[in-house]
Chains A and B, each alone.
Chain A
Amino acid sequence: MKFKNTHKDFQVTDESVYRQRRQLLKAGLIGAGSLLAPSAMALTLPAHKRNDKFSIEKTTLEKDVTTYNNFYEFGLGKDDPAENAKNFNTDDWSIEVSGHCNKTGTFDLEKLIKNFTIEERIYRMRCVEAWSMVIPWLGFKLADLIKYLEPTSNAKYVYFETLYDPKQMPGQNGRAIPWPYREGLRMDEAMNELTLMAVGLFGKNMPNQNGAPIRLVTPWKYGFKGIKSIKKIAFVDKQPVNSWQAIAPNEYGFYANVNPEVDHPRWSQATERRITGEFSFFRNRIDTQIYNGYAEYVASMYQGMDLRKNF
């Protein structure tokens, strides 16, 4: 027994097809962002190429990536963000930078991203709830932004905050999380070549429900580390307390590195359900890889650390 697939095969983007499409984009036949209608004021993304250095798997269907989200600012259900973030206004977005760095102040996002190379990277995304996707992000290296902001030697950690605006974000009227959402990275993690500031996916601007206009992507960590709709960045000398750690310190840590050996106290992390967009009754579960399969890039940062203690 198998459910009927209502989508055609070509909607599950094969890498080769996808590549051809990117070639077309590069050739300028289609301007980036032209596929995006809703907001005329969306961030203008400069031309971008795919970075093929990272492992490439069949991506999850775009429909699933953009309708199955955890973004509690817009509701607790997985389908809430797509519904409730429709009118989220991200025009003229700016980011406040503070703390131990030479360039503090408020930066206009449109102008800021002109300083960096935007590229496409296909990363695995593993949620702490034990499901996963494969997503083609558009973004620039956080390392480039950090170099640009010139942190001082006192900057040991980078701290992030999501926008706080209960009028626009109905979920912030509830008390699921002490708002605004907060996250942080150790400086070496932030400078790691994998760490991305994402401004889009599937070759288009970032959909509101996925964290428009700019979000963090750390593919070797659980999804909740990828803070969305970033409004504040601060260079700090102490390890910040991230939101999930504040809610349940015995269940969610600061590092949140994907690790099949270290279970969540209430469920196993050894396997995950890979969401592809093609449903069948079989082979839905795959083994979870240490650091989500990115050990070669990140394992050295955690050498000598007890991963059970520093979960």
Chain B
Amino acid sequence: MKDFLMRKLFWLKAVLFVLCLLPLAIIVWDGFQNNLTADPIEEILHRTGIWALRLLLLTLLMTPLKVMTKLAVFIRLRRMLGLFTFFYATLHLTTYLWLDIQFNWSQFFEDIIKRPYITVGMAAWLLMLPMAITSNKRMVRRLGKSWKRLHRVIYLVILLACLHFIWLVKSDLNEPLIYTVIGLSLLFFRLFNYSYGKKPRNP
């Protein structure tokens, strides 16, 4: 099984790549069909944001899956998921900046300062930026130990992303809380899993 998956890694990655582009394809399709509710910008904002969050949770799920199944293949898929997380977060930010506030920079900076949910959302994106930049093989090699430290910032990003979601809803906390619970579980797994970070003695 292990070897089989690794041999098919290219195809696994190809399938995952296409799957990750589907949410965007559906947004574009619905846009041309006039199917993005009466407030299309709000809908595009919500969909890009929710997919960024879902992909972030998926990215964080790879290590627990690897630990539980002993299949290293999950780690090989992690980078792509992480980059797609950043991709959707960037679409989300661009939608807000361009479609919503029409590059009104003074409003943008005022929002960042005055609106806690935008403050933490922006912080989450900014913290992901260095991770996206250092995601290629060369950077991983060059940074060595500090690469790992830098990419642990993702634990903070998931907390900020959940907070961003909680703070923007009017009264219905159910949906953001579901995501928060999943996010926290993924973090707790890392805290309480003793074998995590140690090399297994009998590979």
User: Assuming the A-B contacts A78-B37, A273-B100, A281-B99, are A266 and B171 also in contact, with contact meaning beta carbons closer than 8 angstroms in the complex?
Assistant: no
Asked, given contacts A129-B170, A247-B171, whether A266 binds B41 with beta carbons under 8 Å apart, the answer is no
Partner of B40, one of A61, A248, A279: A279
Does A109 belong to the interface (CB within 8 Å)?
no
A145 CB–B CB distance under 8 Å: no
B residues in contact with A63, CB < 8 Å: 38
Complex CA gap A236/B196 in Å reads: 64
- Given the known inter-chain contacts A266-B167, A282-B102, A284-B99, please indicate yes or no for A277 contacting B38, CB distance below 8 A: yes
CB distance from B183 to the nearest CB of A (A): 21
Docked pose: A3 CA to B37 CA in angstroms: 13
Write the B168-179 contact mask toward A (1 if CB under 8 angstroms, else 0): 101110000000
Decide if B171 touches A273 in the complex (CB within 8 Å).
Answer: no
Chain A residues 255 to 297 lying within 8 A of chain B, measured CB to CB, are 263, 266-268, 270-271, 273, 275, 277, 279, 281-285
Interchain CA distance A279-B37 in the complex, whole Å: 10
- Name the residue among B41, B111, B168 with the largest chain A CB count within 10 angstroms: B41
Interface: A76 (CB within 8 A): yes
Q: Is the CB of B107 within 8 A of A3?
A: no
- Is B33 located at the chain interface by the 8 A CB criterion? yes
Taking a contact as CB atoms under 8 Å apart, the answer to whether A177 and B171 are in contact is: yes
Q: How far is the CA of A281 from the CA of B116 in the complex (A)?
A: 27
Chain B min CB distance to A97 (Å): 30
Which partner residue on chain A sits nearest B101 by CB separation?
A285
Cα-based distance from A303 to B116 in the complex (angstroms): 32
State whether A5 touches B114 (Cβ < 8 A).
no
Is there a chain A Cβ closer than 8 Å to B31's Cβ?
yes
Instruction: Report the minimum CB–CB distance from A172 to chain B (whole Å).
Output: 14
Please state if A131 and B39 are interface contacts (CB–CB under 8 Å).
yes
**Contact A79 B42, CB 8 Å, known A129-B170, A263-B114:** no
The B interface is mostly helix, strand or loop, or mixed, namely helix
Which residue of chain B has its CB nearest to the CB of A243? B171
- For the side of the interface on B, what is the size category? 20 to 34
Residue of B nearest to A251 (CB): B170
What's the least CB distance linking A278 to chain B, in Å? 10
Quick one: which of B85-133 are within 8 Å of A by CB? 98-102, 104, 107, 110-111, 114-117
Query: A128: which B residues are within 8 A, CB to CB?
Result: 170
A60→B38 CA distance, assembly (Å)? 10
A128 to B170, CA, bound (A): 10
Is B10 an interface residue, CB under 8 A from the partner? no
Given the contacts A266-B117, A268-B111, A131 and B42 also touching, CB distance less than 8 Å: yes
A residues less than 8 Å from B99 (CB atoms): 281, 284
Interface size on A, residues (CB 8 A): 36
Query: Which residue in B31, B32, B34, B37 is a CB contact (below 8 Å) of A79?
Result: B37
Interface residues of B in 125-173 (CB under 8 A from A): 167-168, 170-172
Instruction: Scan B21-64; emit 1 where CB is below 8 A from any A CB, else 0.
Output: 00000000001111011111110000000000000000000000
Contact yes or no, B32 A284, CB < 8 A: no
From residue B122, how far is it (CB to closest CB) to chain A in Å?
14
Of A5, A63, A248, A266, chain B has the most CB atoms within 10 Å of the CB of A266
Tell me which of B34, B38, B104, B115 contacts A267 (CB under 8 A).
B115
Contact (Cβ within 8 A) B100 A248: no
Taking a contact as CB atoms closer than 8 A, the residue among B34, B36, B171, B172 that contacts A248 in the complex is B171
Residue in contact with A279 in the complex, picked from B34, B107, B168, B170, CB distance below 8 Å: B34
| Contact, CB under 8 Å: A7 / B171 | no
- A67 sits at the interface (CB 8 A): yes
Give the chain A neighbours of B34 by CB distance below 8 A: 3-7, 279
CB pair A285–B100 under 8 Å, yes or no, is yes
Knowing A131-B42, A268-B114, A281-B99, the reply to whether A68 touches B172 (Cβ < 8 A) is no
Report if A188 contacts B (CB, 8 A): no
Whole-angstrom distance between the alpha carbons of A192 and B101 in the complex? 35
Judge whether A64 is part of the interface by a CB distance below 8 angstroms.
yes
Closest 6 CB pairs of A and B: A68-B38, A64-B38, A6-B34, A76-B172, A3-B31, A275-B38
A–B pairs, 13, beta carbons within 8 Å:
A3-B32, A4-B32, A6-B34, A68-B37, A68-B38, A78-B37, A79-B37, A248-B171, A268-B107, A268-B115, A271-B107, A279-B34, A285-B104
Binding site for A on B (CB under 8 A): 31-34, 36-42, 98-102, 104, 107, 110-111, 114-117, 167-168, 170-172
Beyond known contacts A3-B32, A6-B33, A131-B42: 6 more, CB 8 A cutoff: A3-B31, A7-B34, A266-B115, A268-B111, A275-B39, A283-B102
